[in-house]
Structure 1
């Protein structure tokens, strides 16, 4: 099963060790269920650094881009719970991207996830899309891998929410996001160097910096389905 829906929210942040246990308790038992109760939210997944770092990667899969500005979501963003109000200031170096799903091949979940943040050189958008589409199709069938997905940030126009203000203001955003899922960490990690060291990739991105990290699945929750 590929990524669910046509839109996604992809987020990265760091959490100091002293807050980690309470954060995971809150995120698993209050925040995920709250988000999965919003119409249009289909699945949430939380990932931790596979190399023992302080970073988290969280992704929400949405039925449609319009969910990003839906009344149900905006109501929650502007009415954080007391526990959310306590924990959100501890999200350091937040990057929050509201995205359209351009490509999704294979399975959307596995033990490991490589996430890359990229920016195309002006005029190279179509070429970069074609390169990553072909890479995703090939990667999804490799031993050790299960799927690959391309997201592009398209931030909707809206006022800063109460949750953003708690975190200190406007969140930063990635540009293009490429995710490779797999059950073998060596296979997932190999894609990192393969992409970043590609002459084609350097031609498509120019001098724009790229960022990558490998994460391990910590928790996932899907929306309740009507019976």
Structure 2
């Protein structure tokens, strides 16, 4: 089964060690359930990095019918009025990054316990060709490897992302450029790590060098759907 739509919210979060226990309880007992039942949302998953040098420790994805659902007025109102528990936990975030993306290539098949996340900023002149290569060759071949289960390409929608920032009263960062994220699902850490490495090689051949890539392997923690 493919993803539950063509929209995806992705968050990268960290808190201080003394706040992690409550952070995980809040995420598992309130936050994901609250989001899954919002208009347009269908499934949410969260992960923890297994790489000790990961840029951000926790990753979460929220699948929506379309990316525009992430600028829905009801959702915007919820962002502006968080629960008391959400306000308490979110005030302790030491790192937070939020992407609202369109899924432009979906070669997924369910989901598994391990996830490779590759973030990069492609040159606009490379986008069409690279998107085609990912759809026709790269993601099908990586997903067909033993213990791999598929992958997708998510392209950040800056306009929708900025709508969320405005709803939370946060400033709009200057000089924004489109960011892409490739997600690779696998049954084992080794399979995902190998797939990440092969993806890095392919992107390098396409003109995106390793210093321009942010790659992390994550382990599944909790999810819910409706």
Counterpart-to-counterpart distance in 1, 2:123 and 2:12: 23
CA shift, 1:208, in A, is: 6.9
CA shift, 1:185, in A, is: 1.0
Match of 1:147 among 140, 150, 157: 150
Counterpart-to-counterpart distance in 2, 1:159 and 1:13: 16
CA RMSD of aligned residues (A): 2.3
CA shift, 1:174, in A, is: 7.0
CA shift, 1:80, in A, is: 0.6
CA contact (8 A) 1:127 1:204 kept: no
CA shift, 1:89, in A, is: 2.4
Q: Any idea what SS the aligned residue of 2:91 has? A: helix
* Unaligned 5+ runs, structure 2: none
Per-residue CA deviations over 1:2-49 (Å, capped at 9, x if unaligned) read 211010011112222211110111111111111112111000000011
Q: TM-score, normalised by structure 2?
A: 0.88
Q: TM-score, normalised by structure 1?
A: 0.87
Match of 1:27 in 2: 27
Work out the number of aligned pairs and report it: 219
* Unaligned 5+ runs, structure 1: none
Counterpart-to-counterpart distance in 1, 2:64 and 2:122: 25
1:160 paired with 2:165, answer yes
**Structure 1, 55-64 or 67-76: larger mean CA deviation:** 67-76
Query: Which aligned runs of 4 or more in structure 1 are off by greater than 6 angstroms?
Result: 171-174
**Structure 1, 156-165 or 14-23: larger mean CA deviation:** 156-165
CA shift, 1:211, in A, is: 0.3
CA contact (8 A) 1:97 1:174 kept: no
Counterpart-to-counterpart distance in 1, 2:178 and 2:83: 27
1:131 paired with 2:133, answer yes
Counterpart-to-counterpart distance in 1, 2:77 and 2:11: 20
